[in-house]
Amino acid sequence: MRLPCHRGASLIVDGMPTPGTELIRAMAAGDHEAFTRFYDRYAPLVFPLVLRVVGERADAADVLQDVFWEAWRTAAAYDSARGTPEAWIVTRARTRAIDRVRAVRRRSETFVPALDAASAPAAPGGDVAERAGDRALVAEALARLPAPQREVIELAYYAGLTQSEIAERLEQPLGTVKTRIRLALARLRELVTLP
């Protein structure tokens, strides 16, 4: 099964696209133009992730700035043999976004992230229409996971809970949570790997 790849679409906008790795190499050499292109290419791709994690648009814009500032500053340390530019920027964006959420959570200790619509078990039948706005932020690959797997990914990757916190939250044995995460990753891998 193949998913539409929005990344591909944005690459075409550049005309003959410079590979992301080349842009990062140029950034490491202090090339502003390369950084502008890097931002224009990747910011719209990671912004939905950051927004989904932190919730507020203004906060998300803040985090996004930090993420790209850090990318600019550490471009020299990027090694294409150790990961794609996509993984480089997405991993960083997710980490910074979670940092922000945790900092907020520490400030208000009683705060418990709500199980949002997307991570609640899917109602049988169509739930698409009523959550159209929310769905816009949900990665399509995640939406294709079985509900129990999607739930653990939502809670870990997007809400920043650890496996023990998830087990407690879902009232499931830790082993079950571990297995679900492993299965979810394996399934996602199938979904995003081109044949």
Near other proteins in 88-127, by CB under 8 A: 88, 90-92, 94-95, 98-99
Q: How far is the CB of 148 from other proteins (least distance, A)?
A: 15
Distance CA 80, CA 74 (A): 13
Going residue by residue from 166 to 185, which x/- string records binding to other proteins, judged by CB under 8 A? x-----------xx-xx-xx
Among positions 131-170, residues that touch other proteins (CB under 8 A) are: 136-142, 152-153, 156-157, 160-166
CB-CB contact of 89 with 72 (8 Å): no
Tell how far CA 15 is from the center of its chain.
26
Looking at beta carbons only, is 131 or 182 nearer to other proteins?
Answer: 182
For residue 16, give the amino acid letter. M
Q: Which residue among 10, 21, 172, 176 contacts other proteins (CB under 8 A)?
A: 10
Number of shown-chain residues binding other proteins (CB under 8 A) = 86
Among positions 57-76, residues that touch other proteins (CB under 8 A) are: 57-58, 60-62, 64-65, 68-70, 72-76
The tokens describing 169, both together, are: 């939250």
Q: Which residue among 48, 55, 113, 148 contacts other proteins (CB under 8 A)?
A: 48
Q: Which residue among 104, 122, 170, 191 contacts other proteins (CB under 8 A)?
A: 191
Q: Which residue among 30, 121, 146, 173 contacts other proteins (CB under 8 A)?
A: 30
Of 134, 101, 119, the closest CA to residue 184 belongs to: 119
Distance CA 155, CA 158 (A): 6
Of 103, 93, 3, the closest CA to residue 50 belongs to: 93
Looking at beta carbons only, is 25 or 127 nearer to other proteins?
Answer: 25
With left for phi above 0 and alpha for psi between -120 and 50, is residue 171 left, alpha or beta? left
Backbone φ, ψ for residue 145 (5° rounding): -75, 150
Looking at beta carbons only, is 45 or 120 nearer to other proteins?
Answer: 45
